[in-house]
Structure formats: C-alpha cells, structure tokens
Amino acid sequence: MRPQQGTTTMTQTMTHRTSSPRISVIIPTYNEAKNLPHVFGLLPEDLHEVIVVDGHSVDGTVDMAHSLRPDVVVVEQNRRGKGNAMACGFAAATGDILVMLDADGSADPREIPRFVAALTGGADFAKGTRFSRGGGSSDITRTRAWGNRWLNRAANVLFGTSYSDLCYGYNAFWAHCLPVLELDASDVGRNGKLWGDGFEIETIINTRVAKGKLVIIEVPSFEFPRIHGQSNLNTWRDGFRVLWALVVERANGIGRAAPVDRTRARALGATVSSAADVEHMADRVEGSRDLDTLAELMAVSRIGMAEPRGDVA
C-alpha cells in the first residue's frame, strides 16, 4: 500500500542524538508540482535541509515547494538531465549525509532513517535495492527487471561488487564520498552536456564508489508507481546508456585515487571494520518496529568491507 500524507510511523522522525548527522535531501524536479505535496508530507521532521533542484519547470513546481516548505533550498539546473540535477544538488548541500530522492512519489521518504542507520552504522554509501528481502516494487516491468538483472551481472563482474539493484536511484551517502564521485556542476550553458548528465547517473555513482573502495551496504526499499505525470525513462534507450556507462567507467580512472576524509563521520559515531559489524546496525535505530531486523535484511557488498579504505582516519 502506498504511504499516505500525514501517516505517522516510528521511522518518520529521525532518532535524535546529542550529535546527530545533518541530513540533506536532494530532490530533482521537472514539472512535479502535483507530486510534491505527497513527497514533502512524508519527509522526516528533523532534516537539516531539503534541496529542490529544478529543471526550469513550467507548472509551478518551485512555488509549490516554497508553499509546502518555506525553508526549502531551490537550485536551478545549469544544464539538462537528472545527472546534472544531482550534481548541482550535491554542490549546494551543506549536510553530513546526502539523500537522493525522486520527486514523483515512487520512493518512500519514510525509509530515510533506514539509510541513515546504515551510514551511522559504518557504511560510506547506503544503496537502495528493490530485490532483497524487505524491498520490492509495484512499478517495475518484467522487461526492466530482466534488463536490470543482466546489467547487475555485468557490473558485478567488471567492478567486483555484489549489487542486486544497479539501476535504482534511492541512495544516501556521507559527504566525504563527494570527491570520489567527481561530478561536475559547472555551467556550460543549457545546451551543453557533460558525461553523466542523463539517467546513467546512478550507474556512474555506483561504479565510482566501488572503484573508490568505499564501504557499501544495500538497504531494502520499496518502489511505488509515479503518482502524477509520465516518466521520461525509456527502457531500451536508457538500458543501453547504462551498459555504455559500465564500459566507460571501467576504462576510466575516476574515483580510484580521490581522498576520503571520514573525520566528520567518525566524530558522529560511524565506525566499521568488518562485515560482522553490520549485524549490529539495527541497534542504532531505537524503537523502530520495521527496523528490528534491519541488519538481517541488509545485503552487504563485498566492496570495502574486508579492507575499508582509510585514506584519512
């Protein structure tokens, strides 16, 4: 069942600690005015900031965002495509943890504490997956699921990962991952286009955190159909773009040598030295009924777990 605006659950409010990480939620939009009330209505209450990155909408999306949340940060895209929107949002974020959230209602904002639990439990990057116990989708077609499986296999062979859902865009990560991602938010004009500006952005991010030897944990997530409007996703076109992204990212060295400074994350209590530590992550989220088996639900990636990268302690 799709979550309803105003529904209160024990996971909707982030657990307060003396030193809690500041959570920035980045939401790319293009003509999503009708969907924003649903998405904003389910956001946790104690976020550091909500950043809407708008692609020059003509339906009042920005006005709607301001009316729903007066403190919203609005950033205008300087190029085109979802990848550019995410790059612009990441560049504007000031939080310790960055959450990637779609504006169409397909992702449940009430799952954000689940991602944060993985990060405060020691992961660098928390990757959403629809294909582990506790996750699912009422939107994905058989063709897309079939294609995703084969792209997963290709990615896992090329990058030594154990991803179960390469193409899902609901992710969260510590800000210290940004140098590894090396996303360019520079303004080259609305008609300019850089590598990664399109729907291949999730694949680029997932492969670069793997190349960077970061600690990656998959977090179960449920995907709903878009509420209003039509998706710009094209199964075959974007599938081939993802495949090409795997080839390009395997060949280039982006992400391999970037410095990783975990000082802030460790000051907030995020430590991990082995996969066994992940089993205790559920204890980091207090009183959450649907997170009682969080550690059991998580699929732990091989990347970075045995030997977490520690450029800077």
Residue that has been written with the tokens 């800000």 in this structure: 175
Q: Does domain 23-300 have CATH number 3.30.1330.60?
A: no
Mean pLDDT of the chain: 80
At 275, the pLDDT band (50, 70, 90 cuts) reads very low
Q: Cα–Cα distance between 101 and 117 in angstroms, integer?
A: 17
Contact 95, 21 (CB under 8 A): yes
Mean pLDDT over 117-127 rounds to: 94
At 1, the pLDDT band (50, 70, 90 cuts) reads low
Q: Cα–Cα distance between 32 and 50 in angstroms, integer?
A: 15
Mean pLDDT over 216-242 rounds to: 79
Q: Cα–Cα distance between 243 and 236 in angstroms, integer?
A: 10
> What confidence score (pLDDT) does residue 174 get?
97
Mean pLDDT over 151-156 rounds to: 90
Please name which of 126, 85, 116 lies closest in space to residue 103, comparing C-alpha atoms.
Answer: 85
Task: Tell which wins on pLDDT, 87 or 234.
Answer: 87
Instruction: Please list, in sequence order, all residues whose beta carbon lies within 8 angstroms of the beta carbon of residue 32, skipping any fewer than 6 positions away.
Output: 57, 59, 61, 103, 104, 228, 229
Token code pair at residue 305: 């777990």
> Cβ-count burial of 184 within 10 angstroms (0-12 exposed, 13-18 middle, 19+ buried)?
middle
The DSSP annotation for 233-280 comes to: --HHHHHHHHHHHHHHHHHS-TTTS---B-HHHHHTT---SSGGGGGG
Question: In this model, does residue 125 exceed pLDDT 80?
Answer: yes
pLDDT in tens, 212-228: 999 999 999 998 887 88
pTM of structure: 0.80
Share of the chain above pLDDT 90, in %: 53
Token code pair at residue 309: 């990268």
Q: Cα–Cα distance between 12 and 4 in angstroms, integer?
A: 12
Share of the chain above pLDDT 70, in %: 74
Among 39-43, 159-163, 264-268, name the most confident range.
39-43
Contact 23, 14 (CB under 8 A): yes
pLDDT in tens, 80-90: 889 999 999 99
> What confidence score (pLDDT) does residue 290 get?
42
Question: In this model, does residue 24 exceed pLDDT 90?
Answer: yes
- The bridge status of strand 49-54 relative to strand 23-29 is parallel
> What confidence score (pLDDT) does residue 187 get?
76
> What confidence score (pLDDT) does residue 193 get?
75
Query: Where do the structural domains in the chain lie, given as residue ranges?
Result: 23-300
Among 143-152, 255-264, 270-279, name the most confident range.
255-264
Neighbours of 84 (CB within 10 A): 28
